């Protein structure tokens, strides 16, 4: 299951805060801030989708993420590779390195990351 753009934006705030009351979430937004009812509706949908849960303290709710940011985006990248690159990581890597205007130092850094992962696989 995926999140809409507005849900993803709210989830970004929640990932950063780790736990938050409604006022904390509203403060995390830049101006113009969304209405409280808008954020409440988004939270309700995200709870229904099992991305967010909460603890009640009297009349207040403290919200927290049920899904880790890394897990969410890993699933998206894998879906992107499957749907747009014929499930080929090498096609994705080729596209990524050619079409994203990476600098020489960024490419060198990617090469180092790949070399480290290759060494791990060989062990």
For residues 104 and 93, what is the distance between their CA atoms, to the nearest angstrom? 16
Q: What is the pLDDT of residues 34-53, one digit of tens each?
A: 999 999 999 999 999 999 99
The yes/no answer on whether domain 5-65 falls in CATH 1.10.10.10 is yes
**Three-state secondary structure call for residue 81:** helix
Q: Are 71 and 59 in contact (CB under 8 A)?
A: no
Q: Is the pLDDT of residue 1 over 80?
A: no
Predicted TM-score (pTM) of this structure: 0.75
């Amino acid at each position: 299951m995926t999140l809409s753009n507005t849900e993803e934006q709210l989830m970004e705030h929640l990932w950063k805060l780790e736990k938050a009351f409604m006022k904390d979430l509203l403060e995390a937004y830049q101006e113009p801030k969304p209405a409280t009812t808008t954020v409440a509706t988004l939270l309700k949908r995200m709870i229904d989708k099992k991305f967010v849960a909460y603890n009640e303290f009297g009349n207040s709710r403290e919200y927290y993420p049920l899904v880790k940011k890394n897990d969410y985006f890993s699933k998206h990248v894998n879906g992107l590779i499957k749907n747009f690159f014929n499930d080929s990581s090498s096609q994705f890597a080729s596209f990524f390195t050619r079409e994203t205007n990476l600098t020489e130092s960024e490419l060198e850094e990617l090469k180092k990351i790949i070399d480290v992962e290759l060494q791990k696989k060989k062990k």
